[in-house]
Amino acid sequence: MRDSDLFLLVLALGAGGAAGICVILIDLVLAWLRWFAFGIPQSGHLSNIDLGPARVLLMPVLGGLLVGLAQALLRRWRQREVVDAIEANALFGGRMSVGDSVGLVLVTLLSGGFGASVGLEAAYTQIGAALASRLGRSIGLRRDDVRTLVGCGAAGAIAAAFNAPLTGAFYAFELIVGAYTLQTLAPVGIAALTGALVVRALVGSNPIFVVWHEITLSAFDYLAFFGLGLASAGLGIVVMKGVTSTEALFRRQAVPRWARPALGGLLIGTIALVFPQILGSGHGGILRELHSGFDLPFLAGLIVAKIIASAVSIGSGFRGGLFSTSLFLGSLFGSLTGSLLARLGPGLSVDPLIYTLVGMGAVAAAIVGAPMTMIMIVLETTGDFTATIGVMVGVVTAAFAVRHWFGYSFATWRFHLRGLAIRSPEDVGWINDLLVGPLMRRDPAVIAVGLPLEELRRRFPAGSIKQVFVVDDRGGLCGMIDPAGVSGPDGVDAAKTVKDAVSETASFLLPGDDLRTALDRFSRTAQETLPVIDNPEDRRVIGYLSEAYALRRYAHELERHRGTRQDDAGIFSPELGARHPDPEPGQNR
């Protein structure tokens, strides 16, 4: 059944429904934690309610202690990094651990429940994508189908969290799947719609914000949106670098790893005494900004406070995402810009509300790296196409500027710092599955290091072969020789044995090295052929690999994967029953 498109749609529906239920459960636990920590009713928002100073100061510290201890226990249980949906789809063919994901959800709930300045979207997408991954792998789906199903889980989670199916679908296309094709449109779209409908059926429709305001734009507004997009790109880069710099600063402190979140919680609580709106992801702050707003001096200070609080939260060890946080920060930045323009140019008829929406989308696109997602979230929550066009100007400008100036979103920037070459969710993990062992030739030309040079010339005349591998008495690699270099009038006439003609030890490959490692080794050593040895201790030559063949295999696999990804045959083709039908007699595959 794994060859059936309709079966994949059924799996996508299940993934979306499971993601929606998980979102509801996470929100229920989060509401209970915030009631316990801050006395907030279930319908209240942490960033939009008056709190007592004692709780504001102490609860983030308590949350930090709980997070630090929980992470210490999880590290003892599983000593490895948690693979998120982007990394899983880019490197591991969609393989994710449900156990690791549940641990991440618990730590994220503790972080958000006790006031860390992070969002819960990381928890939503992690568990939704992990369950979808487990479902796909348990059935034995192909690599590309598992990746699609992981995108379905993430789409259902975001759609359920924001009550926005289009937003969830484009989130999956841009950040998880990495491509928009007709083959992925149906399953991802169904999963997103299912996730949203599950939440609407069980808890009702509750969008993150609603705008009841007629919006009109002038030519000046579009020019201002372009400038706001550029400024938002700069702000997004500052936030991303600030988070990683703060993380490095906490690592340098003489504080145990488990105690760093508590120290971060103390800093967050101190800031929240003046700016309580920094607590949590910022949903309540967005609502207040849209409906009543803040005074300009306070607004400017709140922007700086939110940036610092978010950097401290993630840098000190709290877990969570920047999706909602970037929306809140963008709404503040856009409102500040619109209010300043309205005061400086009263005759321009500037409406600060639309600048709030543009700033929200532009900053979020700069940090999260999903421009269409941010455009869709404004369209779905406002239903205003005029506002959406204005937001599109700022979002596209911000996304292009960040790509040009910085080159990363927040997720891919953190991968870069870990040494992972991921700039998008496009599947590049297949290159790690191409190993040197199956690619190498197993008939290496070898010669013993102690033989006379004349024996080398006799066995391998000039022009017969480019590289001969020199081995010792035990068969261990000593180096390489080009027979042409020791033959003829320009040869090494003074050399008496093969050992005298070997100038340096050759670089080598191992059978378990992947193709990326091999290509890097060819580039670094400037060699056209490298020996393959059994292990670094014995160094017995078991084969060799040429750079030309490695490049041919890389090009072939790259073309094959691109061709598969761009194949739009599927439920929109006449072949509904088979995704990869056999060719008719006489046709080529």
Q: For residues 79 and 280, which has the higher predicted lDDT (pLDDT)?
A: 280
Q: How far is CA 512 from the centre of its chain?
A: 26
DSSP for 205-236, written as a single string: ---S----------HHHHHHHHHHHHHHHHHH
**DSSP character at residue 506:** P
The partner residues of 514 in beta bridges, in order of sequence, read 435
What percent of the chain is modeled with pLDDT above 70? 85
Cα-Cα-Cα-Cα torsion 64, 67, 69, 72, nearest 10 degrees, comes to -130
584 has a pLDDT exceeding 50: no
Nearest of 153, 155, 154, 165 to residue 205 by alpha carbon: 165
432 has a pLDDT exceeding 70: no
Residue 460 is encoded by which pair of tokens? Answer: 């391998």
CATH number of this structure's domain 219-258+273-417: 1.10.3080.10
pLDDT at 154: 95
473 has a pLDDT exceeding 90: no
Burial 349-388 (b: 16+ CB within 10 A, else e): ebbbbbbbbbbbbbbbbbbbbbbbbbbbbbbbbbebeebb
Residue 67 is encoded by which pair of tokens? Answer: 């997070």
Q: For residues 352 and 375, which has the higher predicted lDDT (pLDDT)?
A: 375
pLDDT at 565: 46
**DSSP character at residue 48:** G
Non-local (6+) Cβ contacts of 205 within 8 A are 163
List C-alpha distances in Å: 493 to 481, 486, 496, 502: 15, 7, 8, 13
579 has a pLDDT exceeding 50: no
Rounded average pLDDT over 416-426: 61
pLDDT at 572: 38
Domain range summary for the chain, segments of one domain joined by +: 5-203, 219-258+273-417, 433-553
Q: 178 near 426, Cβ under 8 Å?
A: yes
Q: For residues 170 and 434, which has the higher predicted lDDT (pLDDT)?
A: 170
pLDDT at 518: 83
Q: Residue 23: how many CA atoms within 13 Å on its side-chain side?
A: 35
Q: For residues 259 and 348, which has the higher predicted lDDT (pLDDT)?
A: 259
Q: 231 near 337, Cβ under 8 Å?
A: yes
Tell me the angle at which helices 371-382 and 385-405 cross, rounded to the nearest 10 degrees: 160
Total-model pTM: 0.76
pLDDT at 103: 93
Please state, in angstroms and rounded to a whole number, the distance separating the CA atoms of residues 98 and 586: 46
**pLDDT tens digit string along 520-534?**
888 888 788 888 888
Maximum Cα–Cα distance for the chain, whole Å? 94
Nearest of 567, 575, 571 to residue 9 by alpha carbon: 571
Rounded average pLDDT over 264-278: 93
pLDDT at 101: 92
Please state, in angstroms and rounded to a whole number, the distance separating the CA atoms of residues 365 and 362: 5
* Tokens 């100007």 -> residue: 393
Nearest of 425, 306, 318 to residue 368 by alpha carbon: 425
Nearest of 572, 550, 324, 358 to residue 437 by alpha carbon: 550
Please state, in angstroms and rounded to a whole number, the distance separating the CA atoms of residues 580 and 85: 26
Residue 133 is encoded by which pair of tokens? Answer: 């991954």
- Give residue 128's identity as a one-letter amino acid code: G
pLDDT at 425: 58
Q: Please report the sign of the dihedral spanned by the C-alpha atoms of residue 514, residue 517, residue 522, residue 523.
A: positive
Q: 157 near 133, Cβ under 8 Å?
A: no
3-state secondary structure 532-574: EECCCCCCEEEEEEEHHHHHHHHHHHHHHHHHHHCCCCCCCCC
Q: Please check whether the two domains, 219-258+273-417 and 433-553, share a CATH topology.
A: no
**pLDDT tens digit string along 134-161?**
999 998 888 888 989 999 999 999 999 9
Which of 197-201, 401-405, 408-412 has the weakest average pLDDT?
408-412
CATH number of this structure's domain 433-553: 3.10.580.10
286 has a pLDDT exceeding 90: no
Which pairs count as long-range contacts for 385-391, CB under 8 Å and 24+ apart, including other chains? 386/215, 386/216, 386/217, 387/211, 387/215, 387/354, 387/357, 389/217, 390/215, 390/217, 390/221, 390/222, 390/225, 390/354, 390/357, 390/358, 391/357, 391/358, 391/360, 391/361, 391/362
183 has a pLDDT exceeding 60: yes
Q: Residue 271: how many CA atoms within 13 Å on its side-chain side?
A: 26
329 has a pLDDT exceeding 90: yes
Q: Angle at Cα 6 formed by Cα 579 and Cα 145, nearest 5°?
A: 55
pLDDT at 577: 39
Rounded average pLDDT over 50-63: 88
Q: 72 near 257, Cβ under 8 Å?
A: yes
Mean pLDDT for all residues in the chain: 83
**pLDDT tens digit string along 375-402?**
999 888 887 788 889 999 999 999 999 9
pLDDT at 180: 78
Q: pLDDT tier at 587 (50, 70, 90 boundaries)?
A: very low
What's the distance, Cα to Cα, between the start and end of the chain in Å?
21
pLDDT at 215: 77
| 3-class SS of residue 141 | coil
DSSP for 394-417, written as a single string: HHHHHHHHHHHHT---HHHHHHHH
478 has a pLDDT exceeding 80: yes
Q: pLDDT tier at 570 (50, 70, 90 boundaries)?
A: very low
Q: 196 near 169, Cβ under 8 Å?
A: no
Q: What class does CATH assign to 5-203?
A: mainly alpha
Residue 147 is encoded by which pair of tokens? Answer: 């990746």
236 has a pLDDT exceeding 50: yes
List C-alpha distances in Å: 263 to 64, 106, 112, 226, 260: 7, 20, 16, 40, 5
pLDDT at 418: 63
pLDDT at 194: 96
